[in-house]
Amino acid sequence: MNFVSISNRTAVAAVLLSVLPNSSVVATEAVVTAQVNRVLVTADSTYGGCMAALSVNPQETLPACLPDWVSFSCSGHFTDAVRGFRMLDQAQLALATNKSVMVVVDDSRRHNGYCFASRIDVHR
């Protein structure tokens, strides 16, 4: 009978461990407010095809990201290509008009180590 009790505890522990989230799998997002210092477009899908360098390093909040740059995934890997290029357009607008941006950066989706920006807002 004591053996059955141990087996039940083991089964319950196994179920609980499989249901609880693993910290390495949990997606992390951060909001970064910065200036756009540079934009980049590649001829292939390297870096997701397009990126922006920010004045605030997203790596400070999300250590899994490589420094300074975020990808808009113009290659269409994490969003459709049209939406990626529209986010790049917003970054170019901010760069040309010297406006700040608010960028939502996701470290669970990366191109060549650079984190994906799932949203960009241009501030007045």
Tell the residue number behind the tokens 């004591």, with chain if given.
2
Task: State the average pLDDT for the chain.
Answer: 87
Q: What is the pLDDT of residues 87-99, one digit of tens each?
A: 999 999 999 999 9
Residue 114 pLDDT > 90, yes or no? yes
Amino acid at 66: L
**Tell me, what's the pLDDT at 9?**
52
Which is higher by pLDDT, 63 or 18?
63
Overall fold of domain 29-122: OB fold (Dihydrolipoamide Acetyltransferase, E2P) (2.40.50)
Q: What is the pLDDT of residues 59-72, one digit of tens each?
A: 999 999 999 999 99
Name the pTM for this structure. 0.77
Which has the closest alpha carbon to 49: 39, 58, 57? 39
Q: Find all residues with CB under 8 Å of 80, minimum gap 6, and list them.
A: none
- CB-based burial, 29-52: b 16+ in 10 Å, e otherwise: beebebebeebbeeeebebbbbbb
**Cα gap 56→76, rounded to integer Å:** 25
